[in-house]
Every structure is written in C-alpha cells, then in structure tokens.
C-alpha cells in the first residue's frame, strides 16, 4: 500500500490551521478507509518561522492526532524553500507526496483524484484551477500576465497551476538533485521529465487570515521565476542595442550630409536627447546583467536553503 504524505507550508496561519487540520485528517481517513493509501499516511505541517501561534497549534495537533507531524524551520525562508524542506523531510518516509497551501484555497477533495492518477502510472500530478472567479481582479490579471510572459521567455510551466501537486518518491529523489538557491519549483518540476497528469478544481477564497503574498513578494517571485530560467531578457537587450546602433548610423549619415550641404543645425536638442537615451539604455542593460551576476553570486555560495529546528514524527 502507498504511504501518502501531505506537506503543508505554514507562515502565520494560526487562524486557519485548526480547520485545515480537521479537513485534511478527514480526507486521509476516507482514503485509508477506501484502502487507497497506507494506514501510516500522514500530514506534515512545516512552520516557516511564523511569528504567531502556528507552531503551538501544530504541536497541539501532533499530540491529539497520530496523522499530524510537524517540522519547524529556524526562521522564515519563504514559501518555496519551506515547501522543499517539507518535501525532502517527507521523502524519506513516504511513497507519494502531495503539497498544498495551508489556507485551503485548493480543493482537498481532488487529493483522491491525484492518488488515482498516481495509481494509473503518473509520477507527477498537477492540481490546476479551472476558474479563478474567487480571486480579485488584480490577482487574476497579474497572474495571467505572468503566465504569458513565462511563455514568451520560453519557460515551460503548467498554466494556472500553483504548488498543489502530487509527486512520487522517485520524482522527489530527482528534485533533490537541483541544488539551486533561486528556487522556482513550478519551472523545475516539468524538467524532471516523468509522465504527468492534471486534475482540475475550482479555487476557493482563503478560509481565514490574509494572503502572505503581498504585491512586493508577488513581483519578486515572478522576476525570480523568469531570471532563474531564462536568459532571453539578455537577448532582447542585445537586439535592442543592435537596433539603436543601426538607427545611429542612419542619423549620422543625415547629420553629415546636412553638414556637407551647409545646413548646419544647432543640434543641441538632439544631442541631449540621444545622450540621455543611450545613457538610459546602458544603465538598463547593466542593471539586467547585474541581476544575473547577482544570481551567480548567490548560487556559488551554495548556502543551505533552510535549517530544521525540530521534527515531530509519530
């Protein structure tokens, strides 16, 4: 029988945790009853350095239910890293692993469909939102734009799929080999290469508490996703540079011929304009290249991604 681990990253989620635990335990019990998963399946809550009572709640759950396990990270390392910490800890003690957010925006009932798909032979099963009606207009349009940009940049990712997915043990073992610090799971998982499937559900509103992804984090996440996977922005800059060079040649020919015919203009405006324009372009390119160099700097340090403070396992 397959041992299932559900990994839940939690950051300041004290308001939703009780309900999340109740629902997930219920799902596990049902699946065990239907003999789809092993009796020693469990939920692993990863506390990502919360400042509220999240860890106390996890400890309490651990005492009350044999299905609840907890992992406490020393400090906040962000959603993606917390998720990897949980997946890597669960890997040693499961056959299949499902990751889901703590706020239950993703339908827990499709966990069963995911397990079914796994049994049909898929190593990775993506949870995909069929509708985004509950998201705000802003979140919806920014997300849509993000997927579009990703596509233009040539990054393979599954449309409308967040980090709700099932992975087999061997997929997780391969994931472990990706050592990069600039972590963008959604881009990495398609690279693993095993057979994948999708299950569809409607995304709900957050059960309680507020989003831990304010605009600033969202932008940083999108930027990271693009610059960690694609060097196309540098290519665009190059093309732009070339185009400007060609335009400059034409402008120079014009300027010289004007001079030859004696129509000498004062030329101060055009000079100033081009000065500013070129200066801007140079700065922009330098900044962009700097971004990549910054990434290299971070990668070569090979710092640990997280630090486990405590692991509660039944």
Torsion of CA 56, 57, 58, 63, to 10 degrees: 90
- Considering the rule CB under 6 A, would residue 224 count as an interface residue with ligand UDP? no
- Burial string for 22-51 (b: 16+ CB within 10 Å, else e) reads eebbebbeebbeeebbbeebbbbbbbbbbe
- Considering the rule CB under 6 A, would residue 160 count as an interface residue with ligand UDP? no
Q: Which residue is nearest to Mg ion (CB)?
A: 103
Tell the smallest beta-carbon distance from residue 312 to ligand UDP (Å): 17
Q: Which stretch binds ligand UDP (CB under 6 A): 10-18, 119-127, 174-182, 297-305?
A: 10-18
Nearest to ligand UDP of 52, 95 (CB atom): 52
**Residues within window 89-128 making contact with ligand UDP, judged by CB under 6 A:** 101-103, 105
Bridge partner residues of 46 (DSSP): 9, 71
Which of ligand UDP, Mg ion, none is residue 57 near (CB under 5 to 8 Å by kind)?
none
- Considering the rule CB under 5 A, would residue 105 count as an interface residue with Mg ion? yes
- Considering the rule CB under 5 A, would residue 48 count as an interface residue with Mg ion? no
Nearest to ligand UDP of 2, 76 (CB atom): 76
**Cα 133 → chain centroid:** 21
Which of ligand UDP, Mg ion, none is residue 187 near (CB under 5 to 8 Å by kind)?
none
Choosing from 2, 23, 76, 182, the residue that interacts with ligand UDP (CB under 6 A) is: 76
- Considering the rule CB under 5 A, would residue 15 count as an interface residue with Mg ion? no
CB 305 within 8 A of CB 184: no
For the chain, the 3-state helix, strand and coil shares in percent, each to the nearest 5, are 50, 15, 30
Tell the smallest beta-carbon distance from residue 109 to Mg ion (Å): 17
- Considering the rule CB under 6 A, would residue 9 count as an interface residue with ligand UDP? yes
Choosing from 103, 106, 163, 224, the residue that interacts with Mg ion (CB under 5 A) is: 103
- Considering the rule CB under 5 A, would residue 99 count as an interface residue with Mg ion? no
Bridge partner residues of 289 (DSSP): none
Helix axes 79-91, 185-192, angle to 10 degrees: 40
Nearest to ligand UDP of 27, 174 (CB atom): 27
Going by C-beta distance under 8 Å and a sequence separation of 6 or more, which residues neighbour residue 205?
Answer: 105, 134
**Residue where the block lists tokens 């989003």:** 211
What tokens were used for 129? 């939102």
- Considering the rule CB under 5 A, would residue 224 count as an interface residue with Mg ion? no
Going by C-beta distance under 8 Å and a sequence separation of 6 or more, which residues neighbour residue 104?
Answer: 16, 19, 20, 23, 204, 206, 207
- Considering the rule CB under 6 A, would residue 41 count as an interface residue with ligand UDP? no
Tell the smallest beta-carbon distance from residue 124 to ligand UDP (Å): 20
Q: Which stretch binds Mg ion (CB under 5 A): 102-110, 120-128, 171-179, 214-222?
A: 102-110
Helix axes 110-119, 14-33, angle to 10 degrees: 50
Instruction: Please report, as ranges, the residues that interact with Mg ion according to CB under 5 A.
Output: 101, 103, 105
Instruction: Please report, as ranges, the residues that interact with ligand UDP according to CB under 6 A.
Output: 9-11, 13, 48, 76, 78-79, 82, 101-103, 105, 211-213
């Amino acid at each position: 029988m397959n041992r299932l681990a559900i990994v839940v990253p939690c950051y300041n989620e004290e308001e939703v945790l009780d309900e999340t635990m109740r629902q997930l335990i219920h799902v596990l019990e049902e699946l065990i009853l239907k003999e789809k998963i092993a009796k020693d399946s469990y939920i692993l809550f990863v506390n990502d350095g919360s400042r509220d009572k999240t860890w106390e709640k996890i400890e309490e759950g651990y005492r009350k239910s044999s299905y609840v396990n907890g992992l406490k990270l020393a400090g906040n390392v962000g959603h993606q890293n917390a998720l990897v910490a949980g997946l890597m800890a669960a890997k040693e003690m499961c056959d299949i692993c499902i990751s889901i957010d703590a706020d239950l925006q993703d339908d827990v009932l499709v966990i069963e469909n995911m397990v079914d798909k796994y049994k049909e032979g898929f190593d990775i099963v993506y949870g995909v939102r069929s509708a985004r009606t509950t998201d705000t207009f802003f979140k919806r349009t920014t997300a849509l734009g993000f997927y579009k940009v990703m596509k233009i940049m040539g990054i393979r990712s599954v449309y409308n799929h967040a980090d709700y997915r099932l992975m087999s043990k061997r997929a997780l073992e391969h994931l472990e080999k990706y050592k990069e610090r600039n972590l963008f799971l959604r881009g990495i998982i398609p690279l693993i290469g095993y057979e994948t499937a999708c299950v569809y559900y409607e995304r709900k509103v957050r059960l309680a508490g507020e989003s831990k992804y304010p605009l600033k984090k969202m932008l940083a996440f999108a930027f990271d996703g693009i610059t960690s996977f694609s060097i196309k922005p540098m290519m665009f800059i190059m093309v732009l540079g070339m185009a400007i060079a060609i335009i400059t040649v034409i402008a120079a020919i014009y300027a010289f011929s004007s001079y030859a015919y004696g129509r000498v203009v004062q030329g101060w405006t055009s000079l100033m304009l081009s000065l500013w324009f070129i200066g801007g372009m140079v700065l922009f390119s330098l900044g962009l290249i700097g971004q990549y160099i910054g990434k290299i700097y971070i990668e070569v340090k090979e710092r640990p991604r997280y630090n486990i403070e405590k692991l509660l396992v039944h």
